[in-house]
Chain A
Amino acid sequence: MVLIAWIGLGIVGLVAGAFLFYFNRFAVLGNRIDNSLSQIDVQLKRRADLIPNLIETVKGYTKHENAAIKAVTEARKALVSAKGIEGKVKADKGLESALKTIFALAENYPDLKANTNFLELQRELATTEDKVAYSRQYYNDSILAYNDLCKTFPGTFFAGVYHKKAREYLNLQMTESDRKKVDVKF
């Protein structure tokens, strides 16, 4: 009798432990997704904040590059006003290609290329672009971990109990209209 009671108690303990463990796993992995999402946002905002400074520096050295400068300003505006993380990441793609034009143009202006402020901004923008890529990678990794937990046994059982569903990856398929927006005219 005593033995059966102990075994029963052990089983109850194990089940309760499993419920607790999975509750915490879902909470931890869910938080990780939210944090990595806000990390992408932080890096994109940092990029947008760097642009006005860059424009000022470039304007001081160039005369006939208004189209390129305007394209960057427009792309920045698109980034700042973009809604949702997918829209923002797409807008950042546009900003990146507009910036490429500016940096290519800088080759024609030796004074600009030698300007420490300009070099610093160029480095900083490249770094933030790396960080955006890394934070997107971590975001997708976090989703992968979360979805693995949701879709494998016994996690799939607890996902049902706690009403947790697999989450979506970042969908960055560029549509035709997105692509047109970022065109740079000369």
Chain B
Amino acid sequence: MNEVKRIDFRDQIARNKRKSFFLMFAVFLVIVVLGYVISKAYEPGLFFIIMIISIIGSISYLLISYYNSDKIALFSVGAKEAKRGEYKQFYDIVEGLTIASGLPMPKLYIMPSRQINAFASGRDPKHSVICVTEGALERLDKKELEGVLAHELGHVESYDIRYMTLIAVMVGIISIISEIFLRSLWFKSGDNNDNKGSIFMIIGIILAILAPIFVFFIQMAISRKREFTADASAVKFTRYPDGLISALKKIGQENQPEKKINKAVAPLFFANPFKEIGSTHPPIQKRVEALERM
């Protein structure tokens, strides 16, 4: 039983690494194709220059987001580093959990929000960060906070953090790029009247609309199962499902939707920062039921 579980777990890590690689490759292709379409739609004469720029640009973009995805995610929610002297309990709990899980100590961050929430990020366990909201530190008791942080360490251990942060950051940028492209079209009407140009323009518009939707669906499909797995890891570390259950119930009762959080980073969080419908997380009730069965 336990052996089976452990092998599954190693599979999960391998799967996350593989998916991260394919995601980066797919994003590379999407950017190059977008570059191709945009150059055909606007300036066919500059085709080669635009293609070279988009290839170099996409590679450097991938490298930058791979090594800095955690910083981008932290920056986008306005998180700041937690000082050891100020947040002793936070440090104590995570230190205990790293001993229980055999993981290296992540960097700890605090984000200003009244919500009870948390997320983990980074490219591997050695370069991981865990960020909690001020609300979580104030309103959860020690056992509940321990459950939430163990859940986040579960994401760290399984390399979910790499894949999820990459998706969040890359989706964020893609949606911004296509938004810019769409907006600029409004000011460009009438310049390009030949048929060939307008066909490419239509493709361009379609791509620009489809890209974020497409990635949004990938995003939804991936993170729901992960939450259950991370809940299970949390129980493996703490041997105490009740803490996590009570934290989830508190979130279900008290959390108000948070408007300040960017949609792209929502899947990273412990609980969905917005509303339940069309959400990136399984319903809290389902998670509690799964935990109570453990």
Contacts and interface: CB of A to CB of B under 8 A. Distances in A.
Interface of A: 32, 35-36, 39, 43, 123, 127, 130-131, 134-135, 137-138, 142, 144-145, 148, 152
Given A145-B6, A148-B2, A127 B96 contact: yes
Contacts of B101: 138
B96 A130 contact: yes
A131 B102 contact: no
B99 A127 contact: no
B99 A134 contact: yes
Contact of B99 (A123, A131, A144): A131
B3 interface: yes
B239 interface: yes
B97 interface: yes
Contacts of A32: 102
A178 to B, nearest CB: 24
B100 interface: yes
A72 to B, nearest CB: 22
B99 A148 contact: no
Question: What is the interface of chain A mostly: helix, strand, loop, or mixed?
Answer: helix
Contacts of A148: 2-3, 6
Interface string B52-76: 0000000000000000000000000
Given A130-B96, A148-B2, 7 more contacts: A43-B99, A123-B92, A134-B96, A134-B99, A134-B100, A135-B100, A137-B100
Contacts of B97: 134
Nearest to B3: A148
Interface in B81-101: 88, 92, 95-97, 99-101
A154 to B, nearest CB: 13
B96 A131 contact: yes
A144 B1 CA distance: 12
B240 to A, nearest CB: 11
28 contacts: A32-B102, A35-B102, A36-B102, A43-B99, A123-B88, A123-B92, A127-B95, A127-B96, A130-B92, A131-B96, A131-B99, A134-B97, A134-B99, A134-B100, A135-B99, A135-B100, A137-B100, A137-B239, A138-B99, A138-B100, A138-B101, A138-B102, A142-B102, A144-B2, A145-B6, A148-B2, A148-B6, A152-B3
